[in-house]
Amino acid sequence: MTLCLDTAFSFSPLSSTTSASTPIEVGAYSSNTSGRRGFISRAVEATIVATTIGVVEWSTPAAFADVSDGNALPTGAQQFSRLVRLKSDLGGVIKRVTEKADEIDKKEWDNLQEFLRILYKGSDDMKAITKNSIYDPAKKKKAEEDIKLLQKFTQLGDNPVTKQDAPGLADILKKCELILDNFFDLLRDVPDEI
């Protein structure tokens, strides 16, 4: 019996040069064989083909990850990842404000205002991380102080942005960067003696 596989992939147990739509020999008996031998032959051939196609489909990985399948980061890891990205973005903003302040136009000042809001929202991630990751009471208290300081400095950043005062904004953002550095230091469990 000869079967033709019309699929996007080529598969042949007989040769490695078989391409799509190439006939594949599946058995020793032709489909014209009558009687018990023909029936058994066709049943075996159908089972082999179904199993082969099933194995090929089963072993093909999914092309897209589905968030509902658990392929996303857990909440705590997402919060930490956002905080790390925020710290990295903060470094870029500080560099831009200090080195190329004369190039900043009205639209970019509006974007800096929005960045201050994002920086303020980073304190929410810091709160969640503190609640779930810092167990030492002294470190937890220090982390809570850092969160309040970050909120305070981001609010103070509104004034220099409104006045388009790049050096004033750079000073505030540098203090925010130090606060984030201190917060990340609190998350380390490795003793300083090592």
Sorted by where each begins, the domain ranges of the chain are: 2-59, 73-187
What is the token pair recorded at 55? 């194995």
Architecture of the CATH domain 73-187? Up-down Bundle (1.20)
Per-residue pLDDT of 138-156, as tens digits, reads: 999 999 999 999 999 999 9
What is the token pair recorded at 9? 């992939």
Higher pLDDT, 149 or 44: 149
Per-residue pLDDT of 67-101, as tens digits, reads: 556 667 677 788 889 999 999 999 999 999 999 88
Query: For the stretch 47-73, what's the b/e string if a residue is b when 16 or more beta carbons lie within 10 angstroms of its beta carbon?
Result: eebeebeeeeeeeeeeeeeeeeeeeee
What integer best gives the mean pLDDT of the chain?
77
